[in-house]
A and B are shown apart, each in its own frame.
Chain A
Amino acid sequence: MTEQGQDAPEEVDAHGWRPVALGLDLPPASVTGARIGEQRLAIWRNSHGDVRASDDRCPHRGMRLSLGFVRDDMLACLYHGWCFDAEGRCRTIPAHPGLKPAATIRTTTFPTIESDGLIWCRVDGVEPPESPPALTSPAHRTTPVRTIRVDAPTRSVALTLGIGPDDRTAWVKLPVHDIAETPDDDATGAATMVVVLHAIGREETRLYVLIEGDAPTTTIQRASRWASTLRDNVEREHKDAIVIEHV
């Protein structure tokens, strides 16, 4: 059941911003891979906490930069250690320590914003004057729960959660008492869970789970287990649906 009750579930026009990682899952000086449509991305954070996004391809040999590492606040390729700065410009080539790399050696970068515990990125080339969708009122902070991958189309996940199926990104709010493990379990209080969906591919969805405001550890763990169960249920139903289609 959604927060809106029986009404049409809330849908968000993401204005081109797509969620690419939970901020918590990208510690300082680390990198992870992400995908928006066909665009593969290396999302990385420097030691000061700033997040950057780059095309996931080293211009040298085409190696995926998301397999690399962050060193000296630059994104380094695992293959030959070429280092790229925040603007995507190659600054260091370890095989030629004395060489200052030409300004033309660079990787494409994309705008990112961190808000509500999520890292957002856009790859549509539109200058981004507006902010990503606000998941919660400015007075609230969010408590991140986890990222979870579901091997099923986003449409299947959305249907299970009661979200409209069409948008590439959607999110839903669920009262945490919906995920109580026993009927008389009221330890969860009135907390609200925020679940953000992102289609990675046709058969693959990423869910970002957060809780509005602060939450006790037991509630966060419960939300994490709820997400595991949701994943398993959606995948089972999706698999059954495929079997029926083929009968």
Chain B
Amino acid sequence: MSDLVLYDDELDEDCYRARLALALCGLTARLHAIDVTMAREQDAPSFRALSPAGRLPALQGVTGTDDLPTICGAMAVLRAVAVLAGPASGWAPVDTGEAASVAHWLSFAEYELTEARRLRRLALFGPSSDDCETQTSTTARDALRIMEDHMTLRRISGGSWFVGDRPTIADIALFPSFALCRDYGLSHDDYPALRRWQTCVKGLPGFIAMPGVPEYG
């Protein structure tokens, strides 16, 4: 297998998903920083050749051949990393029910948490051309509530993770949106079940932080 290269933006939460997945799975990738600020390198032809939609993160070197594309987008990278880690690692369960549940939560992270990602980007980096004027955190709050309600039921039945008895890529997909929610003004205090789960995630071997996610707590 060729060497892995992750095209990365340190402050982007989707890129953090990818870095966290690699770290937790014990895989090493060379980080290639893409400057999405003034230089807008995500629009440069050289990057568009790898990631046609200009999407980050992008993972190169998984497929091993030149005619297969770079893996673009956090959820695709998580799946790819889980495959690289192997079925015994458990990051992508093979049990039918658990695999389906993981697919459910990856979809949730992709769609229901869109507003959470957008609000954070807005709070930290200001509006971009595709942002409308009226902002509300209700949609983001509702998504975190769905996660909180789920993890409350999981805690009651003795579970620590979103799916099954061990951490999966569902946990990695959901973790950054909760860990970073203070960036756009939501408090962790209202989500005790998610806070408990956050402590479990931070205790995993290989866990890495990012700006806005303290190592402790």
Contact = CB atoms under 8 A, between A and B. Distances in A.
B156 A220 contact: yes
Contacts of A24: 192
A30 interface: yes
Interface in A25-39: 25, 27, 30-34
A176 to B, nearest CB: 14
A223 to B, nearest CB: 9
Given A30-B199, A30-B217, A71-B216, A224 B192 contact: no
B48 interface: no
A132 B188 CA distance: 26
Contact of B192 (A22, A67, A221, A228): A22
B24 interface: no
Contacts of A34: 189
A141 interface: no
A146 B199 contact: no
Interface string B29-57: 00000000000000000000000000000
Interface string A25-64: 1010011111000000000000000000000000000000
Contacts of B187: 33
A27 B214 contact: no
A24 B152 CA distance: 11
Interface in A186-234: 217, 220-221, 224-225, 228
Interface residues of A, number: 26
A149 B149 CA distance: 11
> Do most interface residues of chain B lie in helix, strand or loop, or is the interface mixed?
helix
B193 interface: yes
Given A22-B192, A27-B199, A32-B195, A146 B214 contact: no
Given A22-B192, A32-B195, A33-B189, A221 B217 contact: no
- Contact residue range for chain B? 10 to 19
Interface string B168-192: 0000000000000010000111101
A217 B157 contact: yes
Contacts of A33: 187-189
Interface in B56-100: none
A151 B156 CA distance: 24
B166 interface: no
B196 interface: yes
A78 interface: yes
B192 A32 contact: yes
A66 interface: yes
A217 B192 contact: no
A13 B190 CA distance: 25
A68 B193 contact: no
Contacts of A221: 153, 156-157
Interface in A90-148: 145-147
Interface string B184-217: 0001111011011001000000000000001011
Contacts of A224: 149, 152-153, 156
A37 B98 CA distance: 45
17 contacts: A21-B192, A24-B192, A25-B195, A25-B196, A30-B195, A31-B217, A67-B182, A67-B217, A68-B217, A146-B152, A146-B156, A146-B193, A217-B157, A221-B157, A224-B149, A225-B153, A228-B145
Task: Give 10 nearest A-B pairs by CB, closest first.
Answer: A25-B192, A69-B216, A33-B189, A149-B190, A69-B217, A220-B156, A146-B152, A228-B149, A224-B152, A221-B156
